[in-house]
Amino acid sequence: MKSSPLLLERHVFKRVEITAAEDPDKDAVNLMSVTLTCARNQEERNRFRIGLRLKLAPHAEKTPAYTGEVDVEGYFRVSPEISAERQQMLAVTNGSGILFGAIREMLIGITARGPWPPLMLTTVS
């Protein structure tokens, strides 16, 4: 197996706020919005900070089991063998996927201990 040209050095959850509804509607779904940020290190151009903010809100006047917001930041390094033009694309595309997976695991862990069935985020691209 070959190593990835993208290395996750660390990730941190800057905000995790999940609220369980008192009396959710059984068929309610969340409106999910995701905001992505990217910053490139000015001294070490192959290092990136990727931020992902996920908001879970009610959709269509129905109350879902859980609502909230999760912010995570990841610090990535791209192999210097990757061209400078492709480094940011690789960091953003693959880095955001890694961070979304971390959010998914955090949410399922938290909501599995809540009053309603666990919340499993769908796969996105």
Domain spans, the chain = 6-20+37-51+69-111
- Of 69, 67, 76, 120, residue with least CA distance to 97: 76
| SS3 (DSSP) at 83 | coil
Is the pLDDT at 125 greater than 80? The verdict is: no
Is the pLDDT at 112 greater than 80? The verdict is: yes
Average pLDDT over residues 17-43: 96
Model confidence, pTM: 0.92
**Spatial contact of 100 and 73, defined as CB atoms under 8 Å apart:** no
Whole-number Å distance between alpha carbons of 13 and 27: 30
Average pLDDT over residues 106-117: 97
Whole-number Å distance between alpha carbons of 113 and 44: 41
In the numeric block, which tokens belong to residue 52? 């992902």
Least confident of 18-22, 25-29, 97-101, 103-107: 25-29
pLDDT for the residue 3? 87
pLDDT for the residue 84? 87
